[in-house]
Structure 1
């Protein structure tokens, strides 16, 4: 004769719930498999993909800002040498200077021109700075571009590399070339500064999107520890009670079978 324990199914359900709560508390996740919440898992995975894209987008923009800053510093280096050339060009217009004095000015000017030529070979991460190109940086959901210029060609077209301070009659032409070159470099710097501001603004926006997306994913996938701990405590009490009742029912069943036999 078989005697069924009335609360066996209840005890089994409680133990299964305890196992699920233990897994959730161990991982910190409300959803550990599709069985926990199929729709929620799909949404959480999509949000995780968005977060990954936003994080990589921020890294891309940070690289763009770094490149732009190095480019700006290189432009400033060229500009500093041009300013010295302007000073020497004006000095060459001094009527009391002798031919030897102007040759000395030309020698010093040649040094600044060599500095400019050296600066034009600058690179960042193996990529030449001064080329006509548009560098694109993906921000996750959009692209931002940084424009660089072939400054060597620009300066050559301004005839800055051919200034002759030994010729007292060429002061005006030399000064025009030097100042035109300085204005061009200043324009490139202004453009670069605007690009840096754009990149930084976009990076802050993407960072804000990442935080909002992570919060949305957390509300779906992460565990409410306070609630889970409370449920586990309640289930502990319920499971202990169920075990006690089952043991009592088993004793009663054995007594009944003993009497029947």
Structure 2
């Protein structure tokens, strides 16, 4: 190679190698400091797209788990209220049994009737007052066809937990029947103007009829509780499945996105040595034109 002063090709070559090595060193530093193999689209465009879709699904699945847990809390709230209603129904049947015998006079039977109606009123109060996050659970508003197209949803409650909107995979409905006294066929609001069924126990014959009506009310209440229990078990299984899905997606996302520290550290040391070597050689190459000056200046 000729000794020239206009173009220092050795320095240019060393500078180019320094730029390349320094760029790779910067990439290794960025990956090691962030813990990610893919930080920008330039690192892996296809991998970045797949990773972001996976991250969206992982976040959605985790929110779905929270949705399902909220639904379980709601079901437990309703079931707890129904347990109290169960106690009132048992007391009402006990009162009906007491009023059905002939050893009480009319005044005494009216005293029994007073407590009977008070129990019915309390059942209605509990059913109307039981709510979860402002959603009434036992007043009958969660029965019927779901309508979520308006601001205030109505009908069966839609529990959404999946990442899409497929009715077979991503959601199902919780329908809770009404449990007020009138809906159960009990108390003086159930069949006004009659003494049929569980309307009253003020007479012996009415009290005897109320026994069967209360049995039906207990069965109706137990059907609601059984349905809620089945839904709670289903939601718990759904949460387990969603947790496994989120875990597997997180593992897949990690393989795409996360840096292998051992491999990247090896690359970092290699690029560090190459950078230091390039700096040293560039310094040497920059001093070569001085040799020509010695020939000119003597």
Listed as ranges, the matches of 1:55-204 within 5 Å are 55-121=62-128, 122-129=130-137, 130-131=139-140, 132=143, 133-140=155-162, 141=164, 142-152=170-180, 154-156=183-185, 162-164=199-201, 166-204=202-240
Once residues 212 and 72 of structure 1 are traced to their aligned partners in structure 2, the CA distance between those partners, rounded to angstroms, is 34
Q: Which has the higher helix share?
A: 1
After TM superposition, the score normalised by the length of structure 1 is 0.90
Once residues 159 and 100 of structure 2 are traced to their aligned partners in structure 1, the CA distance between those partners, rounded to angstroms, is 48
More relative contact order in 1 or in 2 (CA 8 Å, sep 6+)?
A: 1
**SS of 2:267 mapped into structure 1:** helix
| Structure 1, 94-103 or 83-92: larger mean CA deviation | 94-103
Deviation (angstroms), 1:237: 2.1
Once residues 81 and 31 of structure 1 are traced to their aligned partners in structure 2, the CA distance between those partners, rounded to angstroms, is 63
4+ runs of 1 displaced by more than 4 Å? 157-161
Deviations 1:144-201 (A, max 9, x none): 210111333531387666121x312333211001111001100110001101111111
Residue of structure 2 equivalent to 1:217? 253
Listed as ranges, the matches of 1:240-255 within 5 Å are 240-251=276-287, 253-255=288-290
| Structure 1, 91-100 or 75-84: larger mean CA deviation | 91-100
Deviations 1:218-261 (A, max 9, x none): 1111222232223222322222222223223333x144223332
Once residues 133 and 261 of structure 2 are traced to their aligned partners in structure 1, the CA distance between those partners, rounded to angstroms, is 46
After TM superposition, the score normalised by the length of structure 2 is 0.80
Deviations 1:78-127 (A, max 9, x none): 22210111111222234433434323322222221121010121222112
Note the residue ranges of structure 2 that are not aligned, 5 or more in a row: 144-154, 165-169, 192-196
Once residues 59 and 84 of structure 2 are traced to their aligned partners in structure 1, the CA distance between those partners, rounded to angstroms, is 38
- Mapped contact 1:144–1:199 kept (Cα < 8 A): no
Note the residue ranges of structure 1 that are not aligned, 5 or more in a row: none
Q: CA RMSD in A?
A: 2.0
